[in-house]
Amino acid sequence: MSFDAIFIDADNTLFDFDRTQSKAIADSLARFSLPAHSEAIAHYNRINRDCWNQHNEGLIHNSEINHLRWSRWTEHMGLIEQVCPVQLADHYEASLAQHCEKEAGADELMDYLLGKYPVHIITNGFPAVQAHRWRLAGWEERLQGITVSSVVGVKKPEPEIYHIAMRHVGVNDASRCLMIGDDIKSDVQGPQQVGMKGCWYQRNDAVNETDIEPDFSVRHLVDVLSIA
């Protein structure tokens, strides 16, 4: 099947954000000589999920998440007197940008797509992290731009973010566009609502527990080559 443009998610689609995050957390905790035992990491992960859930519900802005989660973590861990949460959060964000852990098959997929289609990224990730990471990946100069939710003021799966991305690439027919990503709501249902095709990347053999029906499903990124 042929398309006019391909749109792709970033975290846990092209980039292994789980590994990237683990390295950035370890770097940041070591930098400030903070506890990095399993309980401390578990508390961070819980607080981080809560912050993202609040963001998805429209209660906090994307730009507030990083400082807020580390502030809550240092308070929970009783470390307020030992470290400034803002400095910790800023170091973590900078560390995220320095790590470029790719998903298996990402290079092969991007080499194929970038040689055949206009490829544009749509992400709800932090804008400060994006530019350097794409340079490290070696894809930046060949991409047809990146739409970052906090920059344009709407986030996936709101319909307008896909329209913004399409306008950026210069395509009008949504039915001729494919969105690829690991989040079945943001990367399949959202795009489908504006007429795009949605390809669900079933990362780690994820199970569809919704009534959303992807146009395509793949368990490995290289499987997209048989679709596009």
Mean pLDDT of 51-70: 90
Is a pLDDT exceeding 90 seen at residue 220? yes
Q: What is the pLDDT of residues 145-182, one digit of tens each?
A: 999 998 999 999 999 999 999 999 999 999 999 999 99
Q: Quick one: CATH architecture of 17-98?
A: Orthogonal Bundle (1.10)
pLDDT category of residue 227 using cuts at 50, 70 and 90: very high
pLDDT category of residue 4 using cuts at 50, 70 and 90: very high
Is a pLDDT exceeding 90 seen at residue 5? yes
Which residue type does 125 have?
Answer: G
What confidence score (pLDDT) does residue 151 get? 92
Mean pLDDT of 6-27: 95
Is a pLDDT exceeding 90 seen at residue 133? no
Q: What angle do CA 54, 145, 132 make, to 5 degrees?
A: 70
Q: What is the mean pLDDT of the chain?
A: 94
Mean pLDDT of 49-72: 91
Would you list the domain boundaries of the chain? 5-16+102-226, 17-98
Q: Percentage of residues in the chain with pLDDT exceeding 70? A: 100
What confidence score (pLDDT) does residue 61 get? 86
Nearest to 28 by CA among 83, 95, 74: 95
Residue that has been written with the tokens 């957390």 in this structure:
25
What confidence score (pLDDT) does residue 128 get? 78
Mean pLDDT of 66-95: 95
Contact 69, 98 (CB under 8 A): no
Mean pLDDT of 59-64: 88
What confidence score (pLDDT) does residue 132 get? 83
From residue 42, alpha-carbon distances to 1, 71, 97, 101, 141 in Å are 43, 15, 22, 21, 38
Could you count the other beta carbons within 10 Å of the beta carbon of residue 11?
A: 21
- Model-level pTM? 0.92
Specify the length of the chain in residues.
228
What confidence score (pLDDT) does residue 56 get? 82
Mean pLDDT of 215-222: 98
- Judge if 5-16+102-226 and 17-98 fold alike in CATH terms: no
Mean pLDDT of 63-92: 95
Distance CA 48, CA 38 (A): 15
Q: What is the pLDDT of residues 179-200, one digit of tens each?
A: 999 999 999 999 999 999 999 9
CATH class of the region 5-16+102-226:
alpha beta
